[in-house]
Amino acid sequence: MDALKRYFRSPAAVAGLILLLVVIAMAASASFLYPRDPLALAGRPLIWPFSNPRFLLGTDNSGRDIAAQIFYGARISLLIGGVATAIAILIGILVGAFAGYYGGWVDNVLMRITEAFQTLPNFVLLLVLVAVFGSTLTTVTIAVGVVSWPVPARLTRAEFLSLRNREFVQAGRTLGMKDLQLILGEILPNAMPPVIVYASVVMAVAILLESALAFLRLSDPNVASWGNLIGLGRDVLRVQWYVSAIPGIAILVTVLAVSLVGQGLNDALNPRLKSR
């Protein structure tokens, strides 16, 4: 309760939450406000924003409604961001938990693998994965998740290292609990908070990674994604720069919202750090 109160006392955190709710509302209302396929031909190509009441944000180079694509794009960004983050956190927790709990050679092997993933640039690995597995919505989401787990793994490992010999764990051990029970039931719930807070960073980066991939036309071309639209608008950048400008603002606002909420959560959960 205290944490909640602290959260709402920070104007930045509240602003972030409002922005995030707006993006979620956009994603939820997309099929209600724009029942037609957002990638279908809607009108004349390259209508400027605010010049035609039917297309508030104008149309792109092939005559598709930009506003509809922005609304549906919110879905894609939140979906990819959310699922990829869940995948990254899950892998990170598993790797970090086993490495931190068992130590020794298990730790050594797992940390070597983590290091390998951290040495190879994220985006280069993402390119390799897309080159191998193709670029459908599913593969791109999984690929973004797979390149993002090392930091959550390190965080979880650090927490486990400091928790594994606490009294409550030793008590559990004396009671005859199995390793898996101790890891999942006893230590993990206590190790979660910093990892969950870090999830907001993972999500912000995941959304940026996917949009960059889509901009390079290496993401799924059959969905209305903000990155796709920016890539498309690049062809008409000289005059109709708004085709690229509008979805970029959408990405900016979403990533900003996610970061602000994450920062707000962090400050609310660790009040001592905030006062510095």
Partner 1 sequence: MRILGLAGRRLAASIPTLILILIGVFLLLQLAPGDTVDALMAQMGGGDAATARELRKFYGLDLSVPVQLGNYLWRLIRLDLGFSSIYGKPVATVILERLPPTILLMTASLSFAFFFGLLFGVIAARGVNRWPDTLISTLGLIFYATPSFWFGLMAIVVFSIYLQWLPAGGFQDIGTVQTGIWGVIDIAKHLVLPTLTLGLIFLAIYLRIMRASMLEVLNLDYVRTARAKGLDETRVVTRHVLRNALLPMVTLIGLQAGTMLGGSVVVESVFSLPGLGRLAYESVVQRDLNTLLGIVFVSALLVIVVNFIVDLLYARLDPRIAAEG
CA separation, residue 197 to residues 9, 239, 250 (Å):
18, 42, 23
Q: Is 132 in the site for partner 1 (CB under 8 A)?
A: yes
Residue of 14, 86, 216, 269 interacting with partner 1 (CB under 8 A): 216
Residue of 42, 68, 130, 232 interacting with partner 1 (CB under 8 A): 130
Candidates 22-30, 49-57, 88-96, 107-115; binding stretch for partner 1 (CB under 8 A): 107-115
Q: Is 116 in the site for partner 1 (CB under 8 A)?
A: yes
Q: Is 121 in the site for partner 1 (CB under 8 A)?
A: yes
Q: Is 259 in the site for partner 1 (CB under 8 A)?
A: yes
Q: Is 122 in the site for partner 1 (CB under 8 A)?
A: yes
Shortest spacing between CB 45 and partner 1, in angstroms: 19
Query: Distance between CA atoms of 20 and 22, rounded to whole angstroms?
Result: 5
Q: Is 211 in the site for partner 1 (CB under 8 A)?
A: yes
Query: Distance between CA atoms of 82 and 141, rounded to whole angstroms?
Result: 9
- How many residues at the interface with partner 1, by CB under 8 A? 47
Residue of 21, 41, 171, 245 interacting with partner 1 (CB under 8 A): 245
Candidates 71-79, 129-137, 169-177, 191-199; binding stretch for partner 1 (CB under 8 A): 129-137
Shortest spacing between CB 39 and partner 1, in angstroms: 21
Own/partner long-range contacts of 45-50 (Cβ < 8 Å, ≥24 apart): 46/236, 46/240, 46/243, 48/240, 48/242, 49/242, 49/246
Give 146's contacts (C-beta < 8 A, 6+ positions apart).
87, 88, 91, 125, 129
Query: Distance between CA atoms of 33 and 10, rounded to whole angstroms?
Result: 33
Query: Distance between CA atoms of 233 and 217, rounded to whole angstroms?
Result: 12
Give 195's contacts (C-beta < 8 A, 6+ positions apart).
89, 92, 93, 152, 155, 156, 159
Candidates 38-46, 77-85, 186-194, 243-251; binding stretch for partner 1 (CB under 8 A): 243-251
What x-and-dash track marks residues 219-238 binding partner 1 by CB under 8 A?
--------x--x--xx--xx
